[in-house]
Structure 1
Amino acid sequence: MALDDKTIAFLVGPEGIEQAELVQPWTAVSDAGGTPKLISKEQGTVQAFNHLTPADTFPVDVTLDAASADDYDALVLPGGVANGDQVRTFPEAVSLVKAFADAGKPIAVICHGGWVLIEAGVVDGRTLTSWPSLQTDYRNAGATWVDQEVVVDDGPFTLVSSRKPDDLEAFDREILKAFE
């Protein structure tokens, strides 16, 4: 699968990103010839975690106030409880996610990353998966939640979702197909 000439946005908060859910899809995109870009609230670095243990930091490529869905071909929302909770509180992040959905661009989400999808109001009528604790939030937002390794919903925009780090191999495979 080739993602040559494709630029993929990875939207994260300043800390609490589940490291594997950022690094593995990032590597898959890069290995397929795509250009991943890290978007966050502020310049500098973001702090990833291995569950609750601080892990590596990663440099921010673009700040939310400078990010536009027009500049990217697709969006990835990594998980991490703190990450998902933070990102949904940033109005610019919510607007950016809505812009991707409105433009019909593919969005991939894993674990707790989906809270911002709910906040953006883009899951009504969609089928997806996540970490199990989000299922009620998704259902309350009008989505159908299922407990599967990976779900691809080809609605008005392609939505690829997975539950957890153990699902990353399937998640990466499906995001590469969706982003092609």
Structure 2
Amino acid sequence: MADLAQARVLMIATDGFEQDELFKPRQALLDAGAKVTLASIKTDPIQGVINDSEKGQSITPDLTLDDVDTDDFDALVLPGGVGNPDKMRLQERAVEIVTEFMGDDKIVAAICHAPWLLVEADVVDGRRMTSWPSVRTDLENAGADVVDEEVVVDGNLITSRKPDDIPAFNTAIIEALEEELADESEDA
């Protein structure tokens, strides 16, 4: 089991997040020792969905998007669901957060429909990625090299297609954080 006691991970989501795409990566990171912070538009509880059709669990965010300082985090995890990334890509601060993480070459992990937020932030040109099938044309139009694989790691960027891919997605995030923390301790 990884020991990510020094890792600080930010997740951003709002109503309409795919339940398993938020809760399962969050739990895997917590189990590995990481500190996970959830930010949203407001700090009112946000409602998850299951297969974009039925209500899932809700969760209360730790802070608002406006309160996020990206310097406080090592990685960003973006859960999917149709409604969640569609609403988030209209939030200027959410797009800025993605841009800041990518600009700082920090780990950014996006699953399912979440790459819409990466398209909005204009950070996918030339990157090898995957996503839910209906998002792939948007990625291609934004310059990404789109493939159909359960998880794709391109430098600091990790993408996956759907809830079935969560185990591989979680493993890729944890391995990237382990590598990042090892690099930081060597530089110290």
Q: Does 2:33 match 1:33?
A: yes
Note the residue ranges of structure 1 that are not aligned, 5 or more in a row: none
Indicate the residue corresponding to 1:168 in structure 2: 166
CA distance in 1, matches of 2:136, 2:57: 29
CA distance in 2, matches of 1:162, 1:132: 11
Q: Does 2:20 match 1:20?
A: yes
CA distance in 2, matches of 1:48, 1:71: 26
CA distance in 2, matches of 1:3, 1:47: 28
The 5 A counterparts of 1:149-164 are 149-154=150-155, 158-164=156-162
Q: Does 2:122 match 1:126?
A: no
The 5 A counterparts of 1:55-134 are 55-134=56-135
Task: Give the paired residue count.
Answer: 176
Indicate the residue corresponding to 2:4 in structure 1: 3
> One-letter code of the match for 1:104?
D
> One-letter code of the match for 2:100?
A
Query: Deviation at 1:32?
Result: 0.5
Query: Deviation at 1:121?
Result: 0.7
Q: Matched residues, percent identical?
A: 45
Query: Deviation at 1:43?
Result: 1.3
Query: Deviation at 1:68?
Result: 1.5
Larger Rg computed on CA atoms = 2
CA distance in 1, matches of 2:167, 2:73: 23
Query: Deviation at 1:71?
Result: 1.0
CA distance in 1, matches of 2:128, 2:92: 25
> One-letter code of the match for 1:46?
I
**For the aligned residues, what is the CA RMSD?**
0.7
> One-letter code of the match for 1:27?
Q
Query: Deviation at 1:55?
Result: 1.0
Q: Does 2:60 match 1:46?
A: no
Query: Deviation at 1:3?
Result: 1.1
What secondary structure is seen at the aligned counterpart in 1 of 2:16? strand
What secondary structure is seen at the aligned counterpart in 2 of 1:109? strand
Q: After the TM superposition, which parts of structure 1 deviate over 2 Å for at least 4 consecutive aligned residues?
A: none
Note the residue ranges of structure 2 that are not aligned, 5 or more in a row: 179-188
- The alignment's TM-score, normalised by the length of structure 2, stands at 0.92
Indicate the residue corresponding to 1:178 in structure 2: 176
- The alignment's TM-score, normalised by the length of structure 1, stands at 0.96
